[in-house]
Amino acid sequence: MWHDTADRQDTDEVKADYLALKDLAEELSRLVESTHESQREIEHEGFPYFHYMVGLFLLNQLHYLEDLLALIPNRSVELIARTMVEGFIKLKWVERDPELRAGCWFSFSWVQEWKYAIRQEARGFEVDDYKHEIRKQLRENASDHINKKGLISLENGTDPDPFRHFEHDWTSFSTFQLAQKIGLVNLYARFLDPLNDWVHWSPKGFIKSADVSENGTQYTFRSYYQSVACLIAGISSLLGCLKVWDKSYSADYRSRISEFESKFESWSPT
């Protein structure tokens, strides 16, 4: 695996790996794009919120991969790759209980609307009518997202605005916790752990960008080596979401997905 190898510079071999993966990423993008042409004719199985969620996640992953390709070798691609892996882990977690969890994902939009209204109110905008409508929707559709403090205040009437007490995320778990619950800790360790240092502005993340010599320390924020790792993460995430989509829609893309997956798995660093 790429992250298990010793640190390598942007050698000709690394750039050759990038070009090979770039071809694979573009092939996968074309395969995903072809799903849009046939989606209207395909019957989906399961639950409407999950069906809607899978389609949006797949589309978003596709655009993220396109952005990743466009930004290489800028190390900002690490932000995109991390987001793609997180999205795939969340989708796989939802797949375990699609009706309940996709419903939570959808209803959490009312929580976000409420928080937006509060921010607008703090800026001096008149939002009373808007808040009234959102409050109604929250009570009817999103009360599951309120945290323990809010539930207590809602029950005993001690807080005039119990909807302040919302969970910060619709899953109520960290990405690592989700990965643990669905058996994807190895995926998290392979891709997210190496990217976290850079994303969280830690010293270790900057050290990876440092080239120390007798003439001093220089920092580079362009790296084909890191970009190759991000391409592997991006392709893996988009491919994973495509497989969930195929299962959800009964789209019969299995043979085409398997053909691509075999190509991707047979690739190895030069």
Q: 9-52 pLDDT, tens per residue? A: 678 888 899 999 999 999 999 999 988 766 655 555 556 889 88
The whole-number pLDDT of residue 160 equals 65
Residue 196 has a CB neighbour count (10 Å cut-off) of 17
- The better pLDDT of the pair 90, 41 is held by 90
The helix/strand/coil state of 222 is strand
DSSP, res 212: E
Find the mean pLDDT for residues 74-88: 93
Please say whether the beta carbons of 223 and 10 come within 8 A.
yes
Per-residue pLDDT at 234 exceeds 90: yes
- The better pLDDT of the pair 94, 141 is held by 94
The whole-number pLDDT of residue 12 equals 87
**Residue 215 exposure: Cα atoms within 13 Å on the Cβ side:** 3
What's 84-121 look like in SS3?
HHHHHHHHHHHHCCHHHHHHHHHHHHHHHHHHHHHHHH
The whole-number pLDDT of residue 166 equals 74
Helix (H), strand (E) at residue 215: none
pLDDT band (50, 70, 90) for residue 5: very low
pLDDT band (50, 70, 90) for residue 7: very low
- Strands of 85-225, DSSP E: 210-213, 216-219
Per-residue pLDDT at 172 exceeds 70: yes
Q: Please state, in angstroms and rounded to a whole number, the distance separating the CA atoms of residues 246 and 235.
A: 16
pLDDT band (50, 70, 90) for residue 126: very high
Tokens 């190390």: give the residue.
75
Please say whether the beta carbons of 248 and 94 come within 8 A.
no
The whole-number pLDDT of residue 6 equals 37
Distance of CA 111 to the CA centre of its chain: 20
**The tokens of 80 are what?**
């995109």
Separate counts of helices (H) and strands (E) for the chain: 12, 2
Please say whether the beta carbons of 83 and 27 come within 8 A.
no
**The tokens of 93 are what?**
């977690």
Average of per-residue pLDDT values in the chain: 84
